[in-house]
A and B are shown apart, each in its own frame.
Chain A
């Protein structure tokens, strides 16, 4: 993937497919620590032990349109290519957490990219899901909690086009403020 934000989008679709009601996306980037960390945590249906052991292998998928699941192996490889770490934990009925870290100054590291578009796409995919997106940098932290948006909007859905574009701009401005997503 050209951007880590695209991996995040892809991995989070797995959470949506697993019928998660709550999904937490956390990104931390630190130039001083030379490290980017990404975690996607959901309360979806989870995976059993056997599937969990296999999902990092690019020949496993529960999809029927093709035999090879690509999302998790790609994310894992993009982390390991930068001397980073990857882990995934899951429990049936409880949920799944996917973690990846990246050495920030590694030549093979993809840029974080357009997180704002990723969040807008995810919210548009299912505006009933409770998303909590946290992004921290050396200069601060930004948190977007869709519950706070619902509190302002009442009955107006988050998937309303005017609301989605507002959310996109809101994220961009706040990331700008903490110098986030630029690397």
Chain B
């Protein structure tokens, strides 16, 4: 059974890392997940949690994940915006856990937008 004292070990590990958490700098990639009622009903929670897991498993120290309310395109939920260091914003729609893995590998790690999942691809 886990005990709260285990957090001490996590704390020590963290403090040994020089760069605790990606403080915002030129390398920061932002991931914004829409978590309003429409998003949650459509499956935003597993999408958010999949991003958190990928960030942890792959030690993506330059990625900051935040949550927001309704982005205003409820019919396309779950919606995720990825903002790369150059300021380009990509809007991914109808997201799910499998799509998250692909967006992380191709876009966040290899800087190649996954066109098929973007809102542009769905509006055609």
Do A and B make up one complex?
yes
Interface size on A, residues (CB 8 A): 40
Pick the residue among A65, A74, A114, A164 that contacts B72 (CB under 8 A). Answer: A65
Q: How far is the CA of A164 from the CA of B57 in the complex (A)?
A: 12
Interface residue SS majority, chain B: helix
Interface residue SS majority, chain A: helix
Pick the residue among A121, A152, A154, A157 that contacts B35 (CB under 8 A). Answer: A121
Please indicate which of the listed interface residues B48, B52, B65 has the most CB atoms of chain A within 10 Å of its own CB: B52
Taking a contact as CB atoms under 8 Å apart, the answer to whether B56 and A165 are in contact is: yes
Min Cβ gap A20→B in Å is 15
Taking a contact as CB atoms under 8 Å apart, the answer to whether A152 and B7 are in contact is: yes
Min Cβ gap A66→B in Å is 7
Q: Residue A177 at the B interface, CB < 8 A?
A: yes
- Report B-chain residues with C-beta under 8 Å of the C-beta of A10: 36-37, 40
Taking a contact as CB atoms under 8 Å apart, the answer to whether B1 and A124 are in contact is: no
Min Cβ gap A51→B in Å is 17
Pick the residue among B13, B36, B74 that contacts A13 (CB under 8 A). Answer: B36
Please indicate which of the listed interface residues B2, B45, B65 has the most CB atoms of chain A within 10 Å of its own CB: B45
Interface size on B, residues (CB 8 A): 35
Q: How far is the CA of A174 from the CA of B10 in the complex (A)?
A: 19
- Report A-chain residues with C-beta under 8 Å of the C-beta of B6: 166
Q: How far is the CA of A6 from the CA of B107 in the complex (A)?
A: 29
- Report A-chain residues with C-beta under 8 Å of the C-beta of B74: 66
Min Cβ gap A181→B in Å is 15
Taking a contact as CB atoms under 8 Å apart, the answer to whether B48 and A173 are in contact is: no
Known: A70-B38, A152-B5. A164 touches B70 (CB 8 A): no
- Report B-chain residues with C-beta under 8 Å of the C-beta of A74: 37, 41
Q: How far is the CA of A173 from the CA of B6 in the complex (A)?
A: 14
Contacts of B41-78 to chain A: CB distance below 8 A: 41, 45-46, 48-49, 52-53, 55-56, 65, 67, 69-72, 74
- Report A-chain residues with C-beta under 8 Å of the C-beta of B13: 162
Q: How far is the CA of A65 from the CA of B68 in the complex (A)?
A: 13
Q: Residue B8 at the A interface, CB < 8 A?
A: yes
Contacts of B5-43 to chain A: CB distance below 8 A: 5-8, 10-11, 13-15, 20-21, 35-38, 40-41
Q: Which residues of B line the A interface, CB within 8 A?
A: 1-2, 4-8, 10-11, 13-15, 20-21, 35-38, 40-41, 45-46, 48-49, 52-53, 55-56, 65, 67, 69-72, 74
25 A-B residue pairs with CB within 8 Å: A1-B40, A1-B41, A10-B36, A10-B40, A65-B69, A65-B70, A66-B70, A66-B74, A70-B38, A74-B37, A120-B52, A121-B35, A121-B67, A153-B7, A153-B11, A154-B11, A156-B14, A160-B14, A161-B55, A162-B56, A163-B10, A164-B52, A165-B52, A165-B56, A173-B2
- Besides A10-B40, A65-B72, 12 other A-B contacts (C-beta < 8 A): A6-B40, A13-B36, A65-B69, A66-B72, A69-B37, A74-B41, A114-B45, A156-B20, A161-B55, A163-B7, A165-B53, A166-B7
